[in-house]
A and B are shown apart, each in its own frame.
Chain A
């Protein structure tokens, strides 16, 4: 594991932030494109409808215009890819280079989650076996080591706009950060009979409260 880069906390990678940033660019563009095409189609229909067939124009090709248009589209694609790649680099690579304040081993199994805190020597479980919450410190990188005992599951915490598969036979590393609050979590890869019940709750609390809770090995009340 790399040593923490200087100013690690100030450059905390937030999946939520990256998602919202991209969302704020992609979605307005999409709405704009949709409305433009809708307007042009409706306008064309209104203008050109009910003319006699023999008045229909005969031009049917303009390759320079189409070529230019394709270039514009390629530029749009390049712009979107630039944004996506820089965000993806942060989420997938830079985040995992941050020094985590806590490491949680997540084992998914039909139909429960086991969250193990190796630094503190205990674990909590959620899903069909109960609803012990996953507690994490807010405002700090939290590393998750994901694996599965049986089939493919996916750890999804909608509030941080992130999910990742837990696949048997592998341990996958993701690093997330949270703001304080209580969030829902869900298995997001269909895993059989009681997939609907494979839920958990995340409590993101101030680091001091987390430390106190963790030192009690999860026996203290969830802060």
Chain B
């Protein structure tokens, strides 16, 4: 692609942090967003460790009730608004232009402004810790009337609400940029149905953000107006239900925003490490599309116990989700069978992602049934369910993606040995932490309590979970060490260390400012580099006289 030479020469000069912070290069924006959300991941993790310490025994007195409520609120808010969702957007911002062969992001200034709005939101949300009456303390969903100014007065909760609005604004802006890029900047030959699997998952995620996050902005703006005393919007039974309808109209799609890009990342890792293109591409695209459509029509399954929604309709749509989910697993297995599998850290994390997410998914079918949810809702069954999807699922998918794409981002390989050690530690920690929660919940332990009755087995299970949380922290520490070691003592990755399938592996690591210096290979399928390799192999076989 012929490009203006002058700006390119200027771009090639990579400066210090002022350039990095104001850069409109999608790779720099993606890296900035990713790095900041990783920081928030560590912060949210510290909150989790404090929570688990309080819960290690029935009446630990580590935290006051008020502090406990603040910390569980900020744990959930930090993880959802400031880590898992923005990390998904960061991956989309960095990788989608590369995967579709675009030289840049559309409307990069909007994306940059979105990043800073999001960061401002994160800082505002965390700044609520510095107020006299403490941080936000009504849970990440902040139901009314609990979260209004009568029941939770104070500027800390206001700042939490403002923070959420800013975060949603910023991520929506960034998502619009990715959507427009997919629409306008695909390389010649890159038809929509030739886009890589990750790009599809990312596109559906950003579309869901654009379609659903405005409801969060609306719900929070109305809540803020209520809190200032200027309006009486959420009043009575109808107000409480309306808030939940608005919130979950955002809140369920966001669950899939927090899942799809990690699914896409794990899928790419599985396909590349099996040296076989992703099985059932068309069925996969149709199924994740069904997934998205259904996921935007299941929001009230969070409200089965309110008596204010039609449980049957939402049970119907929620249970139907098992069809597209089953297709995904079928495609993953279809990719493995017949492949030539290499068990790198990225592959192991990807396979663990699929298996552990399965626990979350199957328990999701369970809680989709109103009769079962009448018991499970608001208990540790639900806590176990969504941590199996978000932590044992998405975050393992994130690590699969991290091991897969780190060489592309930095030009250096992560250490495989440390990666496998991290995997082993994290699998033990994760299951030790979250599996006992199913038993606790079924036994009658509600969520969001700082103290619980002194049943002997509850103490044991909770202690196990606390130990598990510590082991998870160790796993995350190993990852950080791995990153530092790999960046200090670099093992040069080269352009394409894994025999990748998609266009980002056809450029240098890290990619140059305008992404591609060499001409792009022809795009005739969703795995253009694999096409080239297969053609090469066929030619060699013909030359050797051995008919393929």
- A interface vs B, CB < 8 Å? 15, 18-19, 22-23, 26-27, 30, 33-34, 37-38, 40-41, 44-45, 48-63, 66-67, 69-70, 73-74, 76-77, 80-81, 83-85, 87-88, 91-92, 110, 150-152, 154, 156, 158-159, 161-165, 167-170, 172, 184, 186-197, 199
- Interface residues as binary, B350-393 with A (CB distance below 8 Å gives 1, 0 otherwise): 01001100110011011001111011011100000000000000
Is B5 positioned at the interface, with any CB of A under 8 Å from its CB? no
Contact of B305 among A73, A154, A191, A199 (CB under 8 A): A154
CB of B376, distance to nearest CB on chain A (Å): 9
Contact of B311 among A80, A92, A158 (CB under 8 A): A92
Which residues does chain B contribute within 8 Å of A154, judged by CB atoms?
A: 305, 377-378
With most chain A CB atoms within 10 A of its CB, the pick from B151, B339, B351 is B339
Whole-angstrom distance between the alpha carbons of A186 and B379 in the complex?
A: 10
Among B436-460, those with CB < 8 Å from A are 443-444, 446-453
Is B65 positioned at the interface, with any CB of A under 8 Å from its CB? yes
What is the size category of the interface that chain B forms with chain A?
Answer: 35 or more
Given contacts A44-B336, A51-B340, A152-B145, contact A66 B283 (CB under 8 A): yes
- B interface vs A, CB < 8 Å? 65-66, 69, 138-139, 143, 145-146, 151-152, 235-241, 274-283, 287, 305-308, 311-312, 315-316, 319-320, 322-323, 326-327, 329-334, 336-343, 351, 354-355, 358-359, 362-363, 365-366, 369-372, 374-375, 377-379, 443-444, 446-453, 499, 534, 537
Asked if A57 and B323 make an inter-chain contact with CB atoms under 8 angstroms apart, the answer reads no
Asked if B371 and A84 make an inter-chain contact with CB atoms under 8 angstroms apart, the answer reads yes
Contact of A195 among B235, B370, B449 (CB under 8 A): B449
List 17 extra interface pairs beyond A18-B371, A60-B281, CB under 8 A.
A23-B372, A26-B365, A48-B338, A56-B274, A60-B280, A69-B327, A77-B323, A88-B315, A151-B143, A151-B145, A152-B240, A154-B377, A162-B374, A163-B377, A167-B240, A167-B241, A193-B65
Contact of A34 among B277, B362, B379 (CB under 8 A): B362
Asked if A41 and B69 make an inter-chain contact with CB atoms under 8 angstroms apart, the answer reads no
Contact of A63 among B151, B280, B311, B449 (CB under 8 A): B280
CB of A182, distance to nearest CB on chain B (Å): 13
Asked if A26 and B372 make an inter-chain contact with CB atoms under 8 angstroms apart, the answer reads yes
Which residues does chain A contribute within 8 Å of B306, judged by CB atoms?
A: 152, 165, 167
Asked if B333 and A88 make an inter-chain contact with CB atoms under 8 angstroms apart, the answer reads no
Asked if B146 and A88 make an inter-chain contact with CB atoms under 8 angstroms apart, the answer reads no
Asked if B374 and A56 make an inter-chain contact with CB atoms under 8 angstroms apart, the answer reads no
Which residues does chain A contribute within 8 Å of B280, judged by CB atoms?
A: 60-63, 66
A-B contact pairs, 7 of them (CB 8 A): A30-B365, A50-B342, A57-B337, A76-B322, A88-B371, A188-B378, A188-B446
Asked if B448 and A56 make an inter-chain contact with CB atoms under 8 angstroms apart, the answer reads no
Asked if A19 and B319 make an inter-chain contact with CB atoms under 8 angstroms apart, the answer reads no
Whole-angstrom distance between the alpha carbons of A189 and B282 in the complex?
A: 42
CB of B15, distance to nearest CB on chain A (Å): 40
